[in-house]
Structure 1
């Protein structure tokens, strides 16, 4: 096998891993869902997640998914309660939503920690395009939100 063929094979495998290893985020789609300590309604209830809350799916077991929340807590919920519609939650105090993906762009609003924003474009780079429930749309730094 030639060196170029080895590098080509390694590149394909690396790209496959990056795609397979990408974070899988969803949002709570039902009015709310119960999060359990085990993949069963017989498990202990941990807490109730409100509609729109973003979660990262870290494991699947039948109709159940193990999720991680913004605080890093792990719990189980039924997958039917989650939606493919994506939201993010601000994880810092006073995240600035700007008119463009630039630190010098006009500040449209400031979002405090815990504010829920709709993810407009899931193709995140250093900046994420978001929309507030009041209709304000702009860009926030990816490191200031959870859910991407």
Structure 2
């Protein structure tokens, strides 16, 4: 019995160390790729994973969704809705899931529905580029909310979630 308890404590200890090991090399230990969002109103995007690299561009809106495509120490390579890629410092990213409504569409609105179905009533029409917080996705529809709206949008019309991704 004593050796079983020691073995259980040893195995438990190994699992407890895993996040600490991930933190030692600066990586998050989270899956890559993944979606994240910008924490700050001003985020410098650099050409490489350190402050010695030039700033390629600057985001000026907190909450924008970005896709983390790689990690190097405390830096994350991200891709935005336009497909541009660069490096940002990890503390400028949040795990909060947000989405942009069809940023690739021009001149067309996107229906916001009162339920997760193409037959559900349309409660509003959202302009391309509207930013919302992702509440849940069932693989086909996501519930998103923002200032003055809350409803369901076809998942294929959002940047910030993967096709068929499910989340509660």
TM range (shorter): 0.7 to 0.9
Which one has the largest radius of gyration?
2
Structure 2 CA distance for partners of 1:100 and 1:72, relative to 1, 3 Å: same
SS at match of 1:110: strand
Of stretches 105-114 and 53-62 in structure 1, the one that deviates more from structure 2 is 105-114
**Distance change (3 Å), C-alpha of 1:81 and 1:94:** same
1:83 match: 94
Distance 1:40 1:66 in 2: 11
| Matching of residue 57 in structure 1 with residue 68 in structure 2 | yes
Match of 2:110 in 1: 95
> Take 1:77 and 1:124, find their aligned partners in 2: how far apart are those partners?
30
Secondary structure of the residue aligned to 1:104 is coil
Q: Please list, as runs of the form range in 1=range in 2, the aligned pairs for 1:55-134 lying within 5 A after superposition.
A: 55-91=66-102, 92=105, 93-121=108-136, 123-134=137-148
Q: Is the 8 A contact 2:44 2:58 kept in 1?
A: yes
How many residue pairs match? The answer is: 127
Greater relative contact order structure (CA < 8 Å, 6+ sep): 1
1:41 counterpart residue number? 51
Residues 32 and 68, structure 2, Cα contact 8 Å, conserved in 1: no
* RMSD value, Cα: 1.7
Output the CA distance in 2 between the equivalents of 1:46 and 1:115: 24
Q: Give 1:30's match in structure 2, choosing from 29, 40, 43.
A: 40
Gaps of 5+ in 1: 1-19
Match status 1:144 vs 2:135: no
Q: Aligned partners of 2:126, 2:44: CA distance in 1, in Å?
A: 27
Unmatched 5+ stretches in structure 2? 1-29, 162-168
